[in-house]
Amino acid sequence: MSENSKRKAAKKTARKQVAPKMIPQGIEAARIVHHLAASGATEAEIFDMMQRVDDECRVSDPDRAFVFDTVEERDDWLRGIVSVQYAEYQANPDEVRSWMDEDAEVHEIPEWDDLIALAIRQGGSYDSERGIIHPPQRMKDTGMFLSGYIYDRAQVEGVSSELDNQWFTMNLLNGCRSFFGVELDEQCTPLRDSQEPEPGYFKRAYREWRRDNGGMVMN
């Protein structure tokens, strides 16, 4: 298998691994990658550092280790996270640094119990039998729109973005209302994109998305 094929496989595995219960550690891992990239570390160095630290945590402090049954599963997931988030930083360093600095307080990752409370307080629910958080439908809808919109915009700009709808949804649940230039109101309705490739691009994309989803209006 070529290196490119391995990387694609790792990204696919990462997307599958970051199920609802894994979202908080996925967001935290992305933040670590961004901070290490900002310090000048290479993609390989970041993976090695995160792998080594997690290996130590598994032995000395299991509660701080990433939650996987085997190190092989952990490595596949971690390789995908590092690859995607390092590429995101390299493509938009100023934007990511701004997101890290200005929204650090908003993006603080809550404990699992706090995340459950956030979901319930905002109209979502928690399946205790399966250990799955169900954010409010409006956040799921917006997460779906944002993942597709940011991906399509990145294609137009000649860069990559593989952040999925769960990543956006859980950040919405955690209070974020601005993503890479896209601003939303408190009810999670997309309002504008300060970084749209051309005038009218955002409005047209949002109108088409609503049309394709049954004329859905966020509320």
Per-residue pLDDT of the chain (219 residues), as tens digits, is: 565 555 545 444 433 333 333 445 666 777 778 877 877 778 888 888 888 877 877 777 777 777 777 888 888 888 888 888 888 888 888 877 776 655 444 444 455 566 666 677 777 777 666 666 778 888 888 988 998 898 888 888 887 776 777 778 877 877 788 888 899 998 888 999 998 989 999 999 999 998 887 655 443
Give the residue among 140, 166, 160, 176 at the shortest CA–CA distance from 15: 166
Residue 138, φ and ψ in degrees, nearest 5: -60, -35
Q: How far apart are CA 49 and CA 30, in angstroms?
A: 14
Instruction: Let me know: does 183 contact 153? Beta carbons within 8 Å.
Output: no
